[in-house]
Amino acid sequence: MYLVKVYVMYKQSVLDPQGEAVKGAVHRLGYSEIEDIRIGKYFEIKVAKSETKIETTIEEICDKLLANVVMESYHYEIQEVS
């Protein structure tokens, strides 16, 4: 079994409206030392071992479903758990 952690974020060139909104709220709460906030999606995926290479499976799922590859980029970490 693998535990795969996937991080999906807006590309650097894309404005992150949610991040801007949260940054505004944080500043209104008085935390002026917060300089930037970027928000993304985080997935923890348990994958049973199979013939297919785990990287291939994860990248296909990310490209097809988890990330909008036009505006978002993703990276992942694979841990073998059993």
Based on the shown chain and the rule CB under 8 A, indicate whether residue 81 belongs to the binding site for its own copies: no
β-strand partners of 77: 5
Please identify which residue in 20, 40, 73, 78 interacts with its own copies, judged by CB under 8 A.
40
What CA–CA distances, in Å, run from 58 to 15, 19, 46, 50, 67? 26, 26, 11, 12, 11
- Residue 57 within binding range of its own copies, rule CB under 8 A: yes
Residues that bind its own copies (CB under 8 A): 1, 7-9, 22, 25-26, 29, 31, 33-50, 52, 57, 60-61, 64-66
